[in-house]
Amino acid sequence: MKKLLLLLLTSCFLHLNNKAQTSGGPDAFGYTWMHSNAIGGPVYNWIDILPVATEINGFADDNSVGWVPMGFDFHYYWTDYNQVRVGSNGWISFNNVGNIAHSFPLIPSPGGNADNYVAPFMVDLNFDTESNPGRVYYWSNNVDSFIVTYYQAPFWVNAQPDFTGSNTFQVIFTNTDSSITFQYAEQTGVVQNTGLNDIVIGIENVSGAIGLQCTLNNYPVAPAAIKFYYPETITLAIPDLKPAWNQNDENAGLFFFKGSATYLQSNITNVGNTTVDAPSSAIANFLDAQNISSYSASNELDAIAPDADTTINFDGVLSLDNPGDFTYRVSVSNSTDLNTYNNNNDFEIVVVDSANGEVVLSYVPEDSTMLTFVSWNGGGNTSGAAIKVIPPYYPATIVGAEFFVMSNLGGFNPIPNGFTTNVVTENVQNQPAVIQTSESVSNAGLFPSQWNRVDFTNPYTVTSGPVYISWIMGDDSIALGTHPVTPISNRSYEILDGDWAEYRQGANEDLGIRVIISSGGAHPDTTVLGIGDVVFENDVILFQNYPNPAENTTTVEFYIPSSTAGDFNLYNAPGSLVNTISFSSLSQGKHRVDINTAKLAAGIYYYTLAVKDKLYSKKIVVSR
């Protein structure tokens, strides 16, 4: 943790150091562990991979790097894996985990993004700054041995320089017996103690409900080894379905303009070690803020093998007619499911409307009260937070943003420092890196514990893809409000000394940032953007073009429920054909057609979609 995460109205409990154990288990699956000090335990035998190893670059303070190939299929609990993500804080995950940071989760802990990992020394390490000696390496013989070594990795400390101590340790994955060995060659210095979960060592399975915690808040005394033994006989059969994601594989929230429509999708995965036989079902509900459902659907599932998945589309089309913050919830049901912690998946859908020529995009409901906040010690001018936004239409011109800022003393204490906000887009590696416009705000005009608006001197127009709005602290004493109430967008980021990572509490809370875009790309009259005249025969949907009226370009989207051929035609008001596109094969799903209207005369036009012996039609207005 490059800085110290502060939470208002959160109690802190002191965890006393546990008396060191030398063995443990079995867990519910059958794993056991032994320390090299135990009778019959493993023998410490450091393996120096540096002369032949590959360095893993890209580590900062709190982040992860991957995927790193293991070179073979490794059996971990009831699933085989051949790649890992390596965390800067001394953990290695078989999941696509972006960040596990202080305060660290206990093992086991179901839920969140911290499942399915091994923690040889999960502690607040720091690889930031050029003078930092810490390095991470990996090596594989591509047969039965994969090793990750943390070399001279220091702890983070709130000082200059911001690192101290030295820790050299490694993880050995051995395929011949599916064992995992932690080895500790060097351990000097101490972490900046907070009285929370500062040090965790152990392993945890994909559900988060099974694992072994060897020690809490105890330093490994080098040289030493800890070995985890795969069970000789597996007696636990675990059928375990979970909705892995809804709508997109990031499971990340979306904005829709009032009057639009969408179909609902979910991916159901068997994370257990035995086939889940039918009957199983997946149930979808679209819930408002009062938990009242306006849409419900159910899909029966076929048998799903271990580590297999299926992506389903629920019947019907969801009409998004009312602005607000909604929860799209998918629940799975099977009478044999032994792990109910992961049976629900909530996804955030925000329906927006225009007012006064603007549209406000926020993952936090308008009337929300912020009782918690985030701030970073030592974070002035380089650290902060950000949200990721996919606009509900393109082009979308970002004219401003709102921030719920406060003093890190909480309440209505004066804010002694300002902040900077940036509009950031992705580089070719799809990482937030390119600042498109920026605005600095002094503390003089800031009101504590409420929303503060910032207008961009140079508004930025987004024409495709996502955009990020960042909040960079002017100094330590300013904080950003957070909202720990479901649904959660999963689109929050933390920025530490300029390095971006998924926000460590991003599965549990949203950030107090709102994006303000011009409504020039959308028409405030919902009769234009409405779907009342959409023909739903066979669930083919032809959407209204956007923007409408159009000047230079406009986009038409349509949805096809199954593969087919089709024709898209554009006509002028008298009915003469202007352009046509023939599709020999349209796959199931959503498609788009971009129309160049720059050379068209102003007036009324019509576009049609001919599929499955049906004709669908909508109207375009071209203006000058």
**CB-based contacts of 35-39 (< 8 A; 24+ apart in sequence):** 35/214, 35/224, 35/225, 35/226, 36/224, 36/225, 36/226, 37/224
In the prediction, which pLDDT does 234 show?
Answer: 84
- Of 424, 421, 420, which Cα lies nearest the Cα of 434? 424
Which DSSP letter does residue 190 get?
Answer: -
Residue 291, domain member (yes or no)? yes
In the prediction, which pLDDT does 254 show?
Answer: 94
pLDDT band with cut points at 50, 70 and 90 for residue 539: low
Beta strand 179-188 with 589-596 is: unpaired
Q: Of 13-17, 463-467, 548-552, 581-585, where does the model show the most confidence?
A: 463-467
Residue 153, domain member (yes or no)? yes
At which of 189, 209, 229 does a domain end?
Answer: 229
pLDDT band with cut points at 50, 70 and 90 for residue 20: low
Residue 7, domain member (yes or no)? no
In the prediction, which pLDDT does 534 show?
Answer: 37
Q: Which residues contact 484 (CB under 8 A, 6 or more apart)?
A: 371, 372, 505, 508, 509
Residues 50 and 193 in one domain: yes
Residues 468 and 537 in one domain: no
Instruction: Identify the three-state secondary structure at position 586.
Output: strand
- Mean pLDDT over the full length of the chain: 87
300 backbone dihedrals φ, ψ, rounded to 5°: -80, 140
Residue 235, domain member (yes or no)? no
Residues 84 and 208 in one domain: yes
**What separation in angstroms does the CA of 124 have from each of 10, 198, 386?**
20, 7, 22
User: Do 6 and 375 touch, CB atoms closer than 8 A?
Assistant: yes
**Distance, CA of 272 to CA of 342 (rounded, Å):** 12
> Across the strands, what pairs with 163?
156
**Distance, CA of 272 to CA of 239 (rounded, Å):** 5
**Distance, CA of 431 to CA of 428 (rounded, Å):** 7
Which DSSP letter does residue 532 get?
Answer: T
Residue 262, domain member (yes or no)? yes
Residue 17, domain member (yes or no)? no
**Distance, CA of 186 to CA of 133 (rounded, Å):** 14
Read off the tokens for 468.
């990020």
Residues 90 and 165 in one domain: yes
In the prediction, which pLDDT does 603 show?
Answer: 83
Residues 452 and 326 in one domain: no
Average pLDDT over residues 319-324: 89
Residues 481 and 501 in one domain: yes
In the prediction, which pLDDT does 112 show?
Answer: 67
Q: Which residues contact 343 (CB under 8 A, 6 or more apart)?
A: 241, 242, 243, 331, 332, 333, 337
Number of domains in the chain: 4
Higher pLDDT, 25 or 582: 25
Residues 64 and 157 in one domain: yes
**Distance, CA of 467 to CA of 434 (rounded, Å):** 10
pLDDT band with cut points at 50, 70 and 90 for residue 64: very high
Higher pLDDT, 225 or 590: 225
- Return the residue matching tokens 């940032």: 513
CATH number at residue 248: 2.60.40.10
Residue 10, domain member (yes or no)? no
User: Do 487 and 346 touch, CB atoms closer than 8 A?
Assistant: yes
Strands (E), 474-602: 478-483, 492-496, 499-502, 510-511, 513-518, 541-542, 553-560, 564-572, 577-586, 589-596
Burial of 538 (0-12, 13-18, 19+ CB in 10 A): middle
In the prediction, which pLDDT does 612 show?
Answer: 78
Instruction: Identify the three-state secondary structure at position 277.
Output: coil
Average pLDDT over residues 387-403: 93
Residues 129 and 187 in one domain: yes
**Distance, CA of 348 to CA of 601 (rounded, Å):** 41
CATH number at residue 381: 2.60.120
Residue 344, domain member (yes or no)? yes
Residues 503 and 539 in one domain: no
Average pLDDT over residues 604-612: 86
**What separation in angstroms does the CA of 267 have from each of 87, 208, 264, 272?**
26, 19, 11, 15
Residues 68 and 131 in one domain: yes
Query: CA 140, 141, 145, 150 torsion: positive or negative?
Result: negative
pLDDT band with cut points at 50, 70 and 90 for residue 618: confident
pLDDT band with cut points at 50, 70 and 90 for residue 522: low
In the prediction, which pLDDT does 292 show?
Answer: 94
Which residue segment(s) compose the domain that 210 sits in? 23-229
User: Do 487 and 351 touch, CB atoms closer than 8 A?
Assistant: no
CATH number at residue 559: 2.60.40.1930
User: Do 406 and 416 touch, CB atoms closer than 8 A?
Assistant: no
Residue 4 has pLDDT above 60, yes or no: no
Residues 410 and 463 in one domain: yes
Average pLDDT over residues 126-147: 94
Residues 378 and 455 in one domain: yes
> Across the strands, what pairs with 422?
438, 470
At which of 303, 331, 352 does a domain end?
Answer: 352
At which of 458, 489, 520 does a domain end?
Answer: 520
